[in-house]
Amino acid sequence: MSKMNKTFKLVTAAFAAMVVSTSAAFAAGDLVKAPKQDWSFNGPFGVFDRASQQRGFQIFQEVCASCHSLEYIAFRNLTDIGFSADEAKAVAAEYQVPSEPNDEGEIVDRAAKPSDFWPSPYANAKEAAATNNGKAPPDLSLMAKARVGGADYIYGLLTGYEDHEGTPENLHYNKYFPGYYIAMAAPLSDGAVDYVDGTPNTVEQMAKDVSHFLMWAAEPKLEDRKSLGVRVMLFLLVLTFITFLAYRRVSKKVKGH
Q: Which residues pair with 117 in a beta bridge?
A: 74
Degrees, nearest 5: CA angle 240-241-246? 95
Residue 42 Cβ vs ligand HEC, minimum distance, rounded to whole Å: 19
- Quick one: 56 or 114, whose CB is closer to ligand HEC? 56
- Quick one: 191 or 229, whose CB is closer to ligand HEC? 191
User: For the chain, where are the E strands, in sequence order?
Assistant: 96-98, 109-111, 172-173, 181-182
* Distance (Å, whole) CA 175 – CA 177: 6
- Quick one: 63 or 114, whose CB is closer to ligand HEC? 63
- Quick one: 132 or 199, whose CB is closer to ligand HEC? 132
Contacts 24+ apart (CB under 8 A), 248-253: none
Q: Which residues pair with 161 in a beta bridge?
A: 174
Q: What is the DSSP letter of 74?
A: B
Residue 9 Cβ vs ligand HEC, minimum distance, rounded to whole Å: 42
- Quick one: 57 or 114, whose CB is closer to ligand HEC? 57
Q: Which residues pair with 110 in a beta bridge?
A: 97
Residue 224 Cβ vs ligand HEC, minimum distance, rounded to whole Å: 25
Residue 212 Cβ vs ligand HEC, minimum distance, rounded to whole Å: 11
Helix axes 150-159, 203-218, angle to 10 degrees: 150
Residue 157 Cβ vs ligand HEC, minimum distance, rounded to whole Å: 6
Q: How many residues does the chain have?
A: 257
Note the residues at the interface with ligand HEC (CB under 6 A).
59, 63-64, 66-68, 132, 135, 137-138, 140, 143, 147, 154, 157-158, 182-184, 187-188, 210
